[in-house]
Amino acid sequence: MLRLTKRAEYGLTALVHLVDHSGETVSARKISEHYSLPHRLVGEALKDLCRAGFLHSERGPAGGYQLARQPGSLTVGEAVAALEGAPEGTDCEAKALVGLGYGPLGDLNVESKCLIRSPLHKIQEDIWRQFERTTIQELASPEFTLLRNERGTLQPLQTSA
Amino acid sequence: MLRLTKRAEYGLTALVHLVDHSGETVSARKISEHYSLPHRLVGEALKDLCRAGFLHSERGPAGGYQLARQPGSLTVGEAVAALEGAPEGTDCEAKALVGLGYGPLGDLNVESKCLIRSPLHKIQEDIWRQFERTTIQELASPEFTLLRNERGTLQPLQTSA
DNA sequence: CTTAATTGGCACCCGATTGGTGCTAATAGA
DNA sequence: TCTATTAGCACCAATCGGGTGCCAATTAAG
Ligand code: SF4
Ligand code: SF4
């Protein structure tokens, strides 16, 4: 129920690992052994991410992968879409308005103009919007989330205890 | 990929329908016919919601279901958990802190203290947190979302166009 | 009392999805 | 040459999920 595929999980794990080892060239085997994952599947996920242009690959011994984009600009949504496909084209009038620049981008509540009243549809939209505004940088280093919310209502936990 | 089950979809649809027909007793057949859904599955979903105590049921002809709770206090998380099960017990130290009252409830960013660095886990948590703070009232009447965000950064879309 | 329409509960089937592997080619360092 | 890697794709087996069958219990209507 409501879970990402293993392929997506492995891909995101690999991405986080590559963020943490920025600059290095890491092979699929290294990553799979580090997290005790089936190395062939990790390889498949990395291939997907490479095909999508998120990684540089190098063959041969001492080959492997590197990040090809800034981790702060690569969103979870893009990664998941590359790994297991984006949800079917959910285009409606409300969404078109966003694309045309009406209303503030990012955090606007599209639901207020939702036309087809399918609760499932709205929820899918909610999830996907969250994916598209979450970067793998935030995934790897949660402290970056605070930056994104500088204008929001979120407050860091008090560690005084 | 990353989708709710049909059972959850039908259940949420039925809940929204019951919100819109508050006070009435609506049968599974009526709902299924209204939305062109397989009526047996809608029935199964309604049974789940009834077992969870979210609905009152009445048998016999002219029987059916009614909401047993205020739609503004019944969250999507509760409904989905009853319909297709909650995610496995994701309890960690960071979450325990929330339960003990450290930090503001609701919108705090638990990730800043996340111990096990599994990106999948964080994402599941993100989604589930959103579920738990979304009520079926908001699902049925999006304008209620504005109320919830009165202190937030969200702005309603300009309908001037 | 009989009938019909509903909820309640559960088992079962079948098709789709998915986790995982096999196999082969291309690349490149030692 | 040998080996370790990526690239690509097909394929299998197990699980999951949508949907149905079946029957009992309940209750309104005739
Ligand atoms: S959920 Fe509503 S607002 Fe969002 S794309 Fe679908 S119809 Fe449009
Ligand atoms: S995602 Fe992190 S903070 Fe949330 S429950 Fe899991 S370990 Fe705890």
* Measured distance CA(A142)–CA(B108) in Å, rounded: 13
* Measured distance CA(A132)–CA(A74) in Å, rounded: 9
Give the tens place of pLDDT for each residue, B55-111: 999 999 999 999 999 999 999 999 999 998 776 655 554 444 443 333 333 334 444
- What mean pLDDT do residues A23-45 have? 95
Q: Is the CB of A33 under 7 A from strand D?
A: no
CA distances from A27 to A31, A34, A63, B93 (A): 7, 11, 6, 33
CA distances from B12 to A72, A135, B43, B148 (A): 35, 30, 12, 20
A61 Cα to chain B: minimum distance (Å): 29
**Residues of chain A numbered 24-63 and touching chain B (CB < 8 Å):** none
* Architecture of the structural domain at B6-145: Orthogonal Bundle (1.10)
To the question of pTM greater than 0.85 for the whole model, the response is no
Task: Please indicate whether, in this complex, the C-beta atoms of B112 and A158 are within 8 angstroms of each other.
Answer: no
Give Cβ neighbours of residue A109 (< 8 Å, ≥ 6 apart).
Answer: B142, B145, B146, B149, B154, B156, B157
Task: Please indicate whether, in this complex, the C-beta atoms of B158 and A134 are within 8 angstroms of each other.
Answer: no
Q: Is the pLDDT of residue A106 over 50?
A: no
* Measured distance CA(A79)–CA(A86) in Å, rounded: 10
- What mean pLDDT do residues B125-146 have? 79
pLDDT band at B114 (very low <50, low <70, confident <90, very high): low
Sign of the alpha-carbon torsion through B110, B130, B121, A147: negative
List chain B domain ranges: 6-145
The token duo for B8 is 């959850």
Nearest-nucleotide field for B25 (CA, C1'): C6
Q: Is the CB of A25 under 7 A from strand D?
A: no
Helix (H) or strand (E) holding B54: none
* Measured distance CA(A5)–CA(B2) in Å, rounded: 8
Give the tens place of pLDDT for each residue, A46-96: 999 999 999 999 999 999 999 999 999 999 999 999 998 776 655 555 444
Give the tens place of pLDDT for each residue, A141-157: 766 655 555 433 333 33
